[in-house]
């Protein structure tokens, strides 16, 4: 099933390294990073899951819960976690979904048969507290994800959820943002008291409003 931005993230029940979950209940009112990895006991995945654990504080600060998944079973996940912890000198503090029957992988279109018939690609879903999909990314098995980009896009999503702004190319937290075209110049004066610069009538920049 192909999922689109704005869709409700499909619900499921599954076993994880932190016990059984119902996904929608587990989301509760948080932002969520759901990401798949091709297989346990593989090198790139070991670095990615370690990196996610190392960034626990950065995710918590943003109200984001991380959850990983592969089509390996729970026994395999539980055997692999100590390796991740040893290699990355960190405790794995987020659940890893066991999906040996590929139920969740198929629900989220994480298996791309022309890449691999058996394993998931590196899918990323960022899901909002409203349980809607806000962002999808797909990486091949051979490329580890850029977690700086994942945090950057979460910052953008959270900002644009709260203010009538968008973020420009290569924007980073703290930099000026773009006032969306739906806001008139008149309204912009009151909505953006820090002021704004008009580069083109359709391109107006303002300091980041939540700082």
Site residues (vs ligand BEZ, CB under 6 A): 38-39, 42-45, 141-142
Closest by CA to 129, choosing from 164, 161, 105, 159, is 161
Task: Give min distance, CB of 122 to ligand BEZ, in A.
Answer: 8
Of the listed 27, 45, 67, 97, which one is catalytic? 45
Give the nearer residue to ligand BEZ in terms of CB position, either 111 or 141: 141
With a CB cutoff of 8 Å and minimum separation 6, the contacts of 51 are 88, 147
Q: How far is CA 210 from CA 6, 133, 155, 174, in A?
A: 24, 23, 11, 9
Q: Which of 120, 62, 128, 114 is nearest to 96 (CA)?
A: 120
173 tagged catalytic: no
Minimum CB distance to ligand BEZ, residue 143 (Å): 9
- Are 115 and 102 in contact by the 8 Å Cβ rule? The answer is no
Q: Provide the annotated active-site residues.
A: 45
């Amino acid at each position: 099933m192909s999922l689109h931005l704005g869709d409700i993230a499909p619900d499921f029940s599954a076993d994880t390294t932190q016990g059984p979950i119902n996904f929608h209940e587990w989301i509760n009112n948080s932002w969520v990073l759901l990401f798949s990895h091709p297989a346990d006991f593989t090198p790139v995945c070991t670095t990615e899951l370690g990196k996610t654990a190392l960034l626990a504080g950065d995710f918590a600060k943003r109200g984001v819960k991380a959850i990983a998944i592969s089509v390996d079973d729970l026994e395999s996940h539980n055997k692999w976690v100590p390796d991740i912890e040893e290699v990355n000198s960190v405790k794995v503090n987020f659940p890893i979904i066991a999906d040996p029957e590929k139920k969740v992988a198929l629900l989220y279109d994480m298996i791309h048969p022309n890449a691999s018939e058996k394993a998931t690609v590196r899918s990323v879903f960022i899901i909002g507290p409203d349980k809607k999909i806000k962002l999808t990314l797909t990486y091949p098995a051979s490329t580890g994800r850029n977690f700086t980009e994942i945090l950057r896009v979460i910052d953008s999503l959270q900002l644009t959820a709260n203010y009538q702004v968008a973020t420009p190319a290569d924007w980073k937290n703290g930099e000026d943002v773009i006032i969306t075209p739906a806001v008139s110049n008149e309204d912009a004066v009151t909505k953006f008291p820090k002021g704004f610069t008009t580069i083109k009538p359709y391109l107006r920049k303002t300091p980041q409003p939540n700082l």
